[in-house]
Amino acid sequence: MRSPVTFAYLHFLISVGTLFDKFLVIMQKQEPLIHILHDELVELLQRIMGRFVVFDLYDEKTGSDLLNIKVKEEKNLLPDNKIDVGEGARLALKEVDIVQQRLFTLNAKKFFITVTSYL
């Protein structure tokens, strides 16, 4: 792996994967889980939003209040330098030029928006 950008993307995926770990472990049980699905999805959505949405917009919100947050509006998002892409990715990005850093951040933001919109 010679490209620091590729290294940053791999670290980003590892970091994002941890957001889903708890949810996936719980939902793979053999017992009925419909009674906890809503709460677990809310928690997952809050964890994802915590990476890129202004804290006051999602803090202490649940259900439809979370879904009503317009994550595609720039005013509701953290500044690019505050988006949490994971420590490993952030360190790897120090090795690339500013244009590649900006592109990486835009792609990370796009990923978070897409995932949040889908949930």
pLDDT under 50: residue ranges of the chain: none
| Whole-number pLDDT of residue 35 | 87
Q: What is the pLDDT of residue 86?
A: 94
For residue 119, give the nearest of 14, 49, 56 by alpha carbon.
Answer: 49
Sorted by sequence, the CB contacts under 8 Å of residue 54 that are 6+ apart come out as 76, 77, 78
List, in sequence order, every residue forming a beta bridge with 53; answer none if it has no partner: 77
Structural domain count, the chain: 1
pLDDT at site 1:
56
Smallest Cα–Cα separation from 93: which of 115, 71, 108, 78? 108
Q: What is the pLDDT of residue 68?
A: 85
Domain of residue 98, residue span: 4-118
